[in-house]
Chain A
Amino acid sequence: MKSKIAKAFFVSSVIILGLMFSLFAGVSNAQTKKALPPIKIGIVQSLSGMVSDYALEDLEGFRVKIDEVNGKGGVKTKEGMRKIELLVRDDMLKPDVAVKNAKELILERKCDFLVGVISSGVLLAVSEWCKENKVLLWGWDARTHHATQARGHRYLFRSSGDTWMNGHAAASFWKDQPFTKWGFINQDYSYGRSQFESFTIAMKKAKPGFTIATEQWPKLGSTDFTPFITALMAAKPEVLYTTLWGTDAMTFIKQAKGYGLFDQMKVCGLFWGMPLLRPMGGEMVEGVYCMTEYPFVYPGTPENKAFMDAYKNRTGKFPSDYSVLGYNAATFVVAGIEKAGTVKTEPLIDALEGISIKTIAPAKTITIRKCDHQADYGIVMGVSKKSPDWPWFVLEDQVVIPGAPTMRSCEEIMAERAAEKK
C-alpha cells in the first residue's frame, strides 16, 4: 500500500516537473525565435585522458569570454547582434576521433568554424582535414611548431605560443647569463623532443661555448625519476633545462629535492607556472627559474582582476595559463567576427590576419602574424618563492620576454613550406 502511494506521488511529481520544464523551454524558445540564429562554434578538445585537467581550463577560459559577450547581447555582425553557441566534443587525445568530431561538427551540426585542440598530434590531423575542406580552425593550446611552419596553411590560426618560440624565448634569457654547461631532462615524445631541439638550436646560435653535459629522456608518465636524477647530478651541469609538465614535473621536483639537486645546479622549467605551482603547494622549491605565460600574481590590470573574478565565479578556482589561453582565443575570434561583420570563412580569415587583441597576461597585446597565422604571444621568466599571501609559491623578479623576436622569420617558414611541397 505504502509503496503504491509513494509510486503515485513519484509519477505525479515527475509529470509536474516535466510540464514545468517544457513551459520554461517554451518561453525561452519564443524569446530566441525573434533574434538571429546563434553563431555556432565547434570545440574539439581532449576532455578525457592525461591532459583533461588542463583541457578543461582552456575551455572554461573560453567560456568566460563567450558568457561575457552573450551577456551583452552577442557579437555585432552585419545582420545584427548574434549570440554564440558552443558545441563541445571530446577527442580522447586521439587524432582520428578528433577528425571524426570535426566532420560531425561542421557537416552535421553546421558549425561556422572550429576552435580548440590541446594535443599536437590532434592539431596536425584536424588541421589537415580543415585545409582540405576549407574550414577555419583556431588552435588555442597545441604547440608543435610544425603546425604553423612546414605544415601551416590559410585555414589554421594559433593564439598560443609554439615550441619554436618557447625554446627561443628561454634561450634569449639564458644567453646573457654566464652558464655554458647544460643538462636536460624531457619526456620522450614529440613535445619533449621538439622543445629540446628548439632550445638547443637557439642556444647554439646565441651562446658561444654552449655544451650539453647530459640529456635524459624518461617516458611520459613515469612513476619514478630517481635514476635520472642521480645521472643528472653525476654529469654536473651548471643549469638544468626541462620541459617536464603535469605529474611528471611534480614527481621530478619532489624526488630531486630529496637528492639536493636544486642546491647543486640552477633549474629552469618551462610552463612551471600555476598549473604546477598550485598543486605543488608548499612542496615546491625556492629559486627555480619558472617560465609561464600567465604568472597569476603580477602587477595586474583591472581587466585581469575582472577576468579572475569571472573565472572564479564560474569554476570556483583561480585561473591558470590554460584558462588565459582559452580566454585569448575567444577574444581573438570575437574581435575577428566583429571586424569582418560575418562568420563566412574567407572574409573572416581576411579579417583575422594581422589582428591584435589586448590580453590580461603580461604580454599585454598579441598580434596574429599575417604570413603564418601564428600569434606573437610573449612569455614570462620568474623565480619561485614562498608567499605569505598564497598557499602556493609565486614567481618573483619577473622578466617579460616578448613573443615577436622569438618567432621564426616568414622567409624561412615559406621556404620550408615550399620544400615540403616538393
Chain B
Amino acid sequence: MTGWVLMSQFLSGLTTAMIYFLIAAGLTLILGVLKIMNFAQGGIYMLGAYTCYTFIKLFGGTNSGFLLTLIIAPIAVAAFFSILEVVLMRRFYGKVPLYMLLLTYGILIATYDMARMIWGWIIKTAPMPPMFRRTLAIFGQPFPAYNVFLIFMGFFMFFLIWFLIRRTAWGKKMRAAADDREMTAALGINVPIVFTSVFGFGAWIAAMGGALVAPMAGMAADMGIDAGITAFIVVVIGGLGSLPGALLAAFICGEVLAFGILILPEFAIAFMYLVLVIVLIVRPWGIFGKPIIIK
C-alpha cells in the first residue's frame, strides 16, 4: 500500500466528513441557540434533496440550472420551515422540553409522508451536472470532480455560518438571545423574529446539505432518518451547539472510517460509534462543548 493510496483514502474520508458536517451544522446551530433537539433536521435534509431533484429536472440538468437550484431549493425549503416555526414551534418555547421533542419528531414523520405524497413512491436520484461528470487525477489517484466541489462547499458553509454568527449584528442578537431571552427582549430586540430566523437558517443549512448530496446519491423518503442519527452523533462528539466542534467531529468520524476500513473492513459499521464512546468516556460534554453544571 503506497502513500498515494493513503492520500486517496484521506481525500475520501474528507468527502465523507463534509457530508457529515453539512448534515450536522444546522442541528448544532439550532441546538445552541434555540436549545431545541430538532429531530426534524433529517426530514429537512431529505426535503432539500428532493426539492433539488425537482429543480434540476426543471432546469434540464444543465450546469447553470444546478447552480441556480443550489440557490433556490434550500431557500424554498427554509421558507417553508420558517413558517412552520411561526405556526407551530413558537407555542412551545420555555415549556417542558418534552413537548418540543414530540413536536419535532412529529414534523419528521410528517415530512416523510409529505415527500411520498409529492414525489411518489419510486426512489430517485438527481442527474450529475455535466461540468462534474469527470474524474480528476490528484497525485496520480482518481478523484471525482464533484467531490472537490463538495469539499469546497463544506468549508464555504463553515465560514459562512461562522461569519454570520460572529461578525454580523444578527449574529450578535442571536447569541444574546441564546444566553438570556428575557434580557435580550428587554433591550428591545424582537426575540421571536430572531428565533424564527435562526430556525430558518438552520433549515437552510440542512436543505443545502441535502441539495449537495442529491446528485451523488440515491434518494428515498426515509433518507432523513439515518442522516438525523448521523447528525446527532456528530453533534454529540463535537459538543452540543459548537460549530467548530461539528466540523472537527465530522472530520474525525470521516477519517476514522476511511482508514479504519483499510485495516478492519469488518467493523465499518462500528467506527463512528467507537469515536462516540471514546469521547463520551473522556469528555462527556464533547470536544468543544462546555460541561453542563446543574444548578
Contacts and interface: CB of A to CB of B under 8 A. Distances in A.
B16 A283 contact: no
Contacts of B8: 230, 234
Contacts of B262: 231, 234
A279 B218 contact: yes
B217 A251 contact: yes
Interface string B94-125: 00000000000000000000000000011111
A228 B267 CA distance: 12
25 contacts: A53-B122, A188-B268, A216-B268, A217-B265, A217-B268, A218-B269, A223-B213, A223-B230, A224-B16, A226-B15, A227-B254, A227-B258, A230-B12, A231-B9, A231-B261, A234-B1, A234-B9, A247-B218, A247-B220, A249-B218, A254-B218, A259-B144, A260-B135, A279-B124, A283-B125
By secondary structure, the A interface counts as helix
Contacts of A188: 268-269
A52 interface: yes
Contact of A50 (B132, B220, B257, B267): B220
A347 interface: no
Nearest to A221: B226
Given A227-B258, A227-B261, A234-B9, A259 B143 contact: yes
A234 B140 CA distance: 13
A227 B217 contact: no
A214 B141 CA distance: 19
Nearest to B23: A223
Given A226-B16, A258-B145, 9 more contacts: A188-B269, A223-B217, A224-B19, A247-B123, A247-B220, A249-B218, A259-B143, A278-B122, A317-B122
A215 interface: yes
B180 interface: no
A215 B265 contact: yes
A33 B9 CA distance: 70
B19 to A, nearest CB: 5
B123 A246 contact: yes
Interface residues of A, number: 42
A257 to B, nearest CB: 8
Given A227-B257, A227-B261, A278-B122, A247 B268 contact: no
Contact of A223 (B11, B19, B141, B144): B19
B128 interface: yes
Contacts of B222: 49-50, 221
B147 interface: yes
A258 B144 contact: yes
Nearest to A255: B216
Interface in A109-152: none
Nearest to B143: A259
A283 B132 CA distance: 13
A94 to B, nearest CB: 15
A252 to B, nearest CB: 9
Contacts of B12: 226-227, 229-230
A56 interface: yes
Contacts of A58: none
Contacts, number: 133
B123 A258 contact: no
B144 A255 contact: yes
Contacts of B16: 224, 226-227
B219 interface: yes
A5 B147 CA distance: 63
B223 interface: yes
B111 to A, nearest CB: 14
Nearest to B229: A221
A278 B141 CA distance: 32
A52 B120 CA distance: 11
Interface string A276-294: 0011111100000000000
A106 interface: no
B218 A259 contact: no
* Residue among B1, B123, B124 having the largest count of chain A Cβ atoms under 10 Å: B123
* Residue among B143, B225, B269 having the largest count of chain A Cβ atoms under 10 Å: B269
Contacts of B125: 250, 254, 279-281, 283
A-B pairs with lowest CB-CB distance, top 6: A258-B144, A250-B218, A247-B218, A227-B258, A251-B217, A226-B12
Interface string A236-273: 00000000001111110011001110000000000000
B256 to A, nearest CB: 10
Contacts of A204: none
Contacts of A230: 5, 8-9, 11-12, 141, 258
A78 interface: no
A219 interface: yes
Contacts of A281: 125, 127
B205 to A, nearest CB: 16
Contacts of B219: 247
B218 A246 contact: yes
B75 to A, nearest CB: 22
Contacts of A233: 142
B124 to A, nearest CB: 6
